[in-house]
Amino acid sequence: MESYVILGKFTPQGHRSAPANAAQLDNVQQHARAVGAEVQSFHLTLGEYDVVAVIRAPDEKTMAKLSLAIGSTGNLRTLTLRAFPETEIRRLMRAL
């Protein structure tokens, strides 16, 4: 499984539905399980992005499905990043 980070910004609709956003966390977890991914953690953040989620997925196609599902709610605009663990970074650096 690969690691991904989703950075999310609430849309105006997402701000209006803030009281229901706790249920949205459950929906993201359900979508993740449905496509074969796993939510590692959610974080409410201050600054440019409102939400950060760490996701494990078997491949980029799976992560793309999940990102599309999250975006289709209309509550978040997302940016998805591939995240390499320290062990993989060290292996890549040794190969230089």
How far apart, in Å, are the Cα atoms of 57 and each of 11, 12, 23, 37, 65? Answer: 25, 29, 22, 4, 10
Helices 21-35 and 60-71 cross at an angle (nearest 10°) of 150
What global pTM score does this model have?
Answer: 0.86
pLDDT at 21: 66
Quickly list DSSP for 19-79.
Answer: GGHHHHHHHHHHHHHHHT-EEEEEEE-SSS-SEEEEEEESSHHHHHHHHHHHHTTSSEEEE
Q: Where in the chain are the domains?
A: 2-94
Fold for the domain defined by 2-94: Alpha-Beta Plaits (3.30.70)
pLDDT at 25: 84
C-alpha 72/C-alpha 93 separation (Å) is: 38
pLDDT at 75: 87
Query: pLDDT tens for residues 41-66?
Result: 999 999 999 999 999 999 999 999 99
Mean pLDDT of the region 74-93 = 93
Query: pLDDT tens for residues 1-43?
Result: 999 999 999 999 888 877 666 778 888 899 999 999 999 999 9
